[in-house]
Amino acid sequence: MRTLGICLFLFLFFIISIPLYLVETIIGKFSPYRKVTSSQAIVVWALNCMLFISGTRKTIIGLENVPKDQAVLYAANHRSYFDIIVGYTSVPNLTGFVAKKEMKKVPFISVWMKYLNCLFLDRDNIKEGLKMVLEGIELIKKGYSLWIAPEGTRNTEKELLTFKEGSLKIAEKSGCPIIPVTLNNTDAQFERQFPWVKKAHIIIEFGKPIYPNELEKEQRKFLGSHVQSIIQNTYNKNQSLI
């Protein structure tokens, strides 16, 4: 029933999105910032509806660690399609996220993603990857935060996949802080009993900000490993809270 409920909600949201696209386009003509703000409010409302339908119980830890006066790069482990739903309804600032390029071809969803300053990564094209990093740096400078999953793909094992060092270049080059985000049990909602959605208790913890230019030389050299270690330790700790 939860799976059917989410499918029905997405269908209804698709219908109401058609006039909303027009409204957001008009808003964007006068103020791109207000367009992002209103688009995020709409999407967060829709995602919260999905969490309600799916029976999600969410515990948020460490939200006070997110700076309120600057953009950040959220670096999170990746366990489920529900990661973005949980994360996006928890962040306190305007945030886009980095997604695989295939998402750009998904009708309806990709339009909202573009409105939210999401970036699309071609993992097989180094030149396009560099271009994405430069776009991310510009967004950070404009005050928009970004969410990225350095593992590169979903992983439901207890041990995190190796973080791709290049995934954190946006923070290194822009000087923004990295917020380690640890997600526990998101895969219990969908992936463990695919294709059915099941209620679950999810833990999301926002770690203390990491400023790359303040780290020791060895930590800066292997920044991905440093952030991965922090998230892995937090993940292990929070397993007992589920």
Q: What is the pLDDT of residue 221?
A: 86
Q: What is the pLDDT of residue 233?
A: 98
Residue ranges in the chain assigned as alpha helix (H): 2-30, 32-54, 82-88, 109-115, 126-141, 169-174, 217-221, 223-238
**For 160-179, what is each residue's pLDDT tens digit?**
999 988 889 999 999 999 99
Mean pLDDT of the chain: 94
pTM of the predicted model as reported, rounded to 2 decimal places: 0.95
Q: What is the pLDDT of residue 1?
A: 83
Query: Which residue ranges make up each domain of the chain?
Result: 57-241
Q: What is the pLDDT of residue 162?
A: 93
CATH of 57-241, one of 3.40.50.720, 3.30.470.10, 3.40.1130.10, 3.20.20.140: 3.40.1130.10
Whether 10 shows a pLDDT value over 90: the answer reads yes
Q: What is the mean pLDDT of residues 121-143?
A: 88
> Does 126 or 51 have the greater pLDDT score?
51
